[in-house]
Amino acid sequence: MDFSKINLSLDLTEAHETLTKFLNSSLETFYGTYAAYLGGDFANLCRRKIGRMGPNLNLWRCALSVRHAIEQDERLAGIKGIYVLANEYDALPNYFLESPENIGGPEIDWRDTAVGRTFEAFWTTTISLGSEGNIRRVFITGISPFSLSSLDKLSIWTRNLTFYRDVAGLCGLTYSDLEDALKEIYKDPEAYNGFLSELTNIFNGYHFCECETVETVYDTETCLEYLQRLIERKTPEARDLENSEVSEQSTLI
């Protein structure tokens, strides 16, 4: 689930509808991927398992279906349960906290609205299913210390891996990642080394390990946009990419 992809509205009713559709759509994607192990009929799975009672209950139904499949299907003998991947967890709460329209206006505790309650109910159900062993792991990115305090129920089974040496490389692309990609695009060493040098100069330098030196990583989104332009045989605008999250003034960070 990538919460940064949600196009929210300040209208709380619309925001609630959007969040509900987003969470249910994530479950639909799951059923589409694993339908062969869960009954084989994608349309029927969605009709029976994704109801109108809320995404949290739909998640609960999904987890029970997976547990039943694991118990009954020999092909799933090595599967332990569901893994939940959530990108940009803070995208939704930050939208309401930081919106310019909210500055100077009446304070609204979005958690006490329909959209906030649905968001919290979904994660509360996730926590419960994790405690029962139906969800084996939950990986969350884009969560601030402020939001961690709102997930105090997770404290008994969470670890903040932000600055762990062993996972520092997950936060971006490495030199070898880009070198291998460029070698697939250009066979001439002089060509791909030139592009690799430019990528290193502009997009490398991110360091995600506290008190220890690790290999720095490259900004993922901007590098992929750069590589896409190379694949299309277009000249990449390295300092002004359309989807760049790197400021114009940044080179090495």
* Residue that wins the pLDDT comparison between 33 and 244: 33
Instruction: Specify the higher pLDDT residue, 215 or 144.
Output: 215
Q: How much is the pLDDT for 253?
A: 32
> How confident is the model over 45-91, as pLDDT tens digits?
787 778 777 899 989 988 988 898 888 888 888 888 888 888 877 77
Q: Binning pLDDT at 50, 70 and 90, where does residue 103 land?
A: very low
Handedness of CA 68, 74, 77, 79 (dihedral sign): negative
Summarize pLDDT for 198-218 with one digit per residue, the tens: 888 877 776 666 677 777 888
The pLDDT-based confidence of 43 (bands split at 50, 70, 90) is confident
Q: What does the domain layout of the chain look like in residue ranges?
A: 3-160, 167-231
Sequence-distant (≥ 6) Cβ neighbours of residue 215 within 8 angstroms? 168, 169, 174, 175
pLDDT of residue 40: 76
Q: Is the dihedral of CA 220, 205, 251, 232 positive or negative?
A: negative
241: pLDDT strictly greater than 60:
no
